[in-house]
Structure 1
Amino acid sequence: MTAPYDPSDREKVVAKLPADLRKELKVRAAELDRDIQDAVTEGAEAWRKARPRPEVDTAGGSSFSTYLPTGLYDKVKKVCKTRGISYNQGLAQAIRLWLDSNPSPRPKPLRVTGARRIIFGNQKGGVGKTSVSAGVAQALAESGYRTLLIDFDPQGHLTKQLGYPMLDIDSASLAKHMLGEARGDLSELLVPIKGGDFEEHLWLLPACKDAFLLDAKLATSRNVRIKETALEKALEPLEQAYEYIVVDCPPSLGYAMDTAIYYCRTREGEEPNTSGIVVPVLAEDSSADAYDMLYDQIQDLIEDLNIDIALLGFVVNMYDSRKGYVATSSLDEWNNIGEPPVLAVVPELKDQREAVRVKKPLLVHAPYGDQSDVMRTVARRISA
């Protein structure tokens, strides 16, 4: 579980670092399942005790911020003054030292089952499925994984929040491909999401309003199996091109949601918890009621189709302990479930709302904010 840092224990540190060094730090921290602030802390402690290090090229640096234990940055600055280098250079050397001391682990064997499939779902609307699925997809891509983010909600909030137009109602779409009504390749509909350290690793499949008709058409299909397999058959041609496929699901318990749940099942030959469902919730009772309904739907599919579906965990979104007993006791109840675990707690802050307002990805608008750090935590925990 991740919550905002206590300012009495840590202090915010801002420096200018080159993009390549920032990206390498994020990727390595993700590979080793470490928080960025902990990695920088270790590097700073080691650097100030080590002999002078080679200079790091910091030309073209841009803003980078993290949290260090109170007083550590003052110690780093004193060493910088003694060595006659800038504070930016000192922090860059500390990060470089940590990277050199913590090499990348050997790559895992290629998966025979294709992309790992992570769906974000909850029957209740307004819990932040869109913001959390988008943020986690950005964090996965930032860590170097080729990631496809799919807006499977006919309302199209994800598509619009990222600043892209929804697909025209008369054009090809994911729904039409699922129903066998589209020509051409589904890959032709994908758009790259620009900006941040995830650029060239993240793509979006935009929403189309025709998805409102999907439940009705699936229900009347003569092919019984298409009710569960339609999404998988449509996305199958894309799977070998991506390491992660992240699906923002609609707030419903209809046939479309059945296809998404079936899509994230554990396939034959796939390791447990490689793919599965993440459930964004709020710290209040209505989220618990909605989860109960979603759980029943998942169990029905498991029993009816004899499949395994991994519940990867909860993300408690928009949490604010100042809301009192309802919030704090509800968070305790989510934690007490045990399995699936609470992957992280997203603090109630302005960053995500501002990102939506300016139609930018969260990790571009506020890359070093607490909410962005939580998205990286979730990405690390589901990719471990």
Structure 2
Amino acid sequence: MSKIIAFTNQKGGVGKTTSAANIGAGLARAGHRVLLVDLDPQVNLTHGLGLLDAEFNVYGALLHEYKVKAYPIQERLALIAGSPTLSSFEKVKGDELDREFLLKDLLEPLHERCDYILLDCPPALGLITLNAYACATDLYIPLEAQLYATEGLEKVLEMVARVKRRLNPGLKVGGIFFTRFDSRKVLRRETAEVVRDKYPDLVLTSTIREAIALGEAPHLGQDIFSYAPTSAGAADYETLVKEILTR
């Protein structure tokens, strides 16, 4: 049975998609069979891994227009493509019975083929994100250590509590980790300490430093390990993957 991890934050631009791609690639490098699922209408995960013209995507599969299709990205790593039309998912499926479990039903047949299924959620707490929370075993929350960062975090944790009560009792927050972290900046250090003090059991030791290579890699359709294996970004994500594997 695979472990389903959702990467989520109500705030955009926190490195959520970058983390999903590189943690997925890191898990695959460690020998695990990994499936990535792009649930963000911006489709940055899909395009950032070099899949530009996918004929089949998660939205069409959710609407039962065709069977779900996983595209191979590299050895032990595959991707279910996203689609801009995911933005209309709530409008199309919002009145359907058991609408919160559509993604869970879609992924059910794939469990035996994967060790990990990683969900890249949109930066909003709508029906798509609710579907991700309803089928996930763990949530990981990437966070920038800056002003107002904790506001989005608290909204995510509130939604997690509601989902645990009503839809998915087994859901847990695997951890919070800081992205684009620069320890030289006082505000970043102080904000990180505030979050660590408030959520001591949730904040991971690993942090992802600000790194140019992490922004360059998706433009070439690559993860950080393929693009710049000796970079700070690759080192940070390798450390983060090891920590996730221990939780």
Q: Could you say which TM-score interval applies, normalised by the shorter chain?
A: over 0.9
Which protein shows a greater Rg? 1
Change in CA separation of 1:284 and 1:166 when aligned onto 2, cut-off 3 Å: farther
- Separation in structure 1 between the aligned mates of residue 168 and residue 128 of structure 2, nearest angstrom: 19
Task: Give the AA of the match of 1:235.
Answer: L
- Separation in structure 1 between the aligned mates of residue 229 and residue 101 of structure 2, nearest angstrom: 37
Bigger RCO (CA 8 Å, 6+ sep): 2
Task: Give the AA of the match of 2:61.
Answer: H
Aligned partner (choices 136, 152, 155) of residue 293 of structure 1:
155
* Displacement of 1:140: 0.2
Task: Give the AA of the match of 1:261.
Answer: Y
Change in CA separation of 1:357 and 1:340 when aligned onto 2, cut-off 3 Å: same
Task: Give the AA of the match of 1:377.
Answer: T
Secondary structure, aligned partner of 2:118: strand
* Displacement of 1:237: 1.1
Structure 1 unaligned segments of length 5 or more: list them.
Answer: 1-113, 195-199, 265-274
- Separation in structure 2 between the aligned mates of residue 115 and residue 166 of structure 1, nearest angstrom: 28
Q: State whether structure 2 residue 65 is matched by structure 1 residue 182.
A: yes
Secondary structure, aligned partner of 1:122: coil
Task: Give the AA of the match of 2:78.
Answer: W
Q: State whether structure 2 residue 29 is matched by structure 1 residue 142.
A: yes
Task: Give the AA of the match of 1:152.
Answer: L
Task: Give the AA of the match of 1:318.
Answer: R
* Displacement of 1:146: 0.7
Report the identity percentage.
25
Checking the alignment, whether the CA contact within 8 Å between 1:141 and 1:201 is kept in structure 2 is yes
Q: Which residue pairs with 1:151 in the alignment?
A: 38
Checking the alignment, whether the CA contact within 8 Å between 1:173 and 1:182 is kept in structure 2 is no
Structure 2 unaligned segments of length 5 or more: list them.
Answer: none
Q: Which residue pairs with 1:123 in the alignment?
A: 10
Task: Give the AA of the match of 1:325.
Answer: V
* Displacement of 1:381: 2.0
Checking the alignment, whether the CA contact within 8 Å between 1:178 and 1:233 is kept in structure 2 is no
Q: Which residue pairs with 1:242 in the alignment?
A: 114
Alignment of 1:1-384 (within 5 A): 114-167=1-54, 172-179=56-63, 181-183=64-66, 185-186=67-68, 189-194=69-74, 200-221=75-96, 223=97, 225=98, 227-264=99-136, 275-305=137-167, 307-322=169-184, 324-336=185-197, 337-384=199-246
Task: Give the AA of the match of 1:206.
Answer: A
Task: Give the AA of the match of 1:193.
Answer: I
Residue correspondences, number = 245
TM-score, length-scaled by structure 1: 0.61
Please list every run of at least 4 consecutive aligned residues from structure 1 whose deviation after the TM superposition is greater than 6 angstroms: none
Change in CA separation of 1:213 and 1:362 when aligned onto 2, cut-off 3 Å: same
